[in-house]
Amino acid sequence: AQSVTQLGSHVSVSEGALVLLRCNYSSSVPPYLFWYVQYPNQGLQLLLKYTTGATLVKGINGFEAEFKKSETSFHLTKPSAHMSDAAEYFCAAVKTSYDKVIFGPGTSLSVIP
Amino acid sequence: EAGVTQFPSHSVIEKGQTVTLRCDPISGHDNLYWYRRVMGKEIKFLLHFVKESKQDESGMPNNRFLAERTGGTYSTLKVQPAELEDSGVYFCASSQGPGLAGGPETQYFGPGTRLLVL
């Protein structure tokens, strides 16, 4: 069965530092991959998605992720953290176009002033 | 364009009572999904509607949960009777269909309903 793992349930970075949130998927066929963010007391918002084509995907708020098939990874990065980036981040996968979303366990990001 | 809306935002009920959650998808979206996140665990799929038909209900935990989507518009998820382990956040999502070739339609999520069963 397909699964999504995220290394680190909680990550803390200093304001202005690099943000790196790790995600790996387990599938014989690469799925479609997503990153969602949930800000406090809000719903899930799509940050970015990978379907086909370019493996480096740019999203909103300065985030980007790179699909690496050889490593079955889809890590999320941002060069410089802002206080407003504090939220919970979910890596997710979809096997086919209208299939259910398989979520990773989530990583809570804290940004230290 | 309005996003996915869910009602209520919070619900506190006692064990054995009935609760009905409502989801209004983005207008024109044929696909509607329900997910939930129980405390400390992952967000899990419950079921998928295409218009008014249940496409996949493999994630429904038991027969205490009943989902409907009358007329292919809004959907309700009823829990009867509620148990303590049903506490969590229930998310609804919708997507267009049929989609563009070459990739999945993005699922747009609502803010969730936070259910607490005492």
- Per-residue pLDDT reduced to its tens digit, A9-49: 999 999 999 999 999 998 766 778 999 999 987 889 999 99
Interface test with B, best of A88, A101, A108 (most B CBs within 10 A): A101
What is the pLDDT at residue B104? 67
Q: Give residue A95's Cα distance to chain centre.
A: 16
Contact assessment for residue B75 and residue B67, using Cβ atoms and an 8 Å cutoff: yes
**Mean pLDDT over all residues of chain B?**
90
Confidence class for position B39, pLDDT limits 50, 70, 90:
confident
What is the pLDDT at residue B103? 57
- Minimal C-alpha gap between B80 and chain A (Å): 24
Residue B86 has pLDDT above 80, yes or no: yes
What is the pLDDT at residue A52? 80
Residue B29 has pLDDT above 60, yes or no: yes
Query: Is residue A32 within 8 angstroms of chain B, CB to CB?
Result: yes
Estimate the share of chain A in helix, then strand, then coil, as percent rounded to the nearest 5: 10, 55, 35
- Express as a percent the part of chain A with pLDDT over 70: 96
Contact A103 B112 (CB under 8 A): no
What is the pLDDT at residue A9? 93
Lowest mean pLDDT among A21-25, A94-98, B13-17, B20-24: A94-98
What is the pLDDT at residue A97? 67
What is the pLDDT at residue A27? 74
Residue B88 has pLDDT above 90, yes or no: yes
Contact assessment for residue B75 and residue B69, using Cβ atoms and an 8 Å cutoff: yes
What is the pLDDT at residue B98? 55
Contact A51 B102 (CB under 8 A): yes
Confidence class for position A76, pLDDT limits 50, 70, 90:
very high
**Mean pLDDT over all residues of chain A?**
91
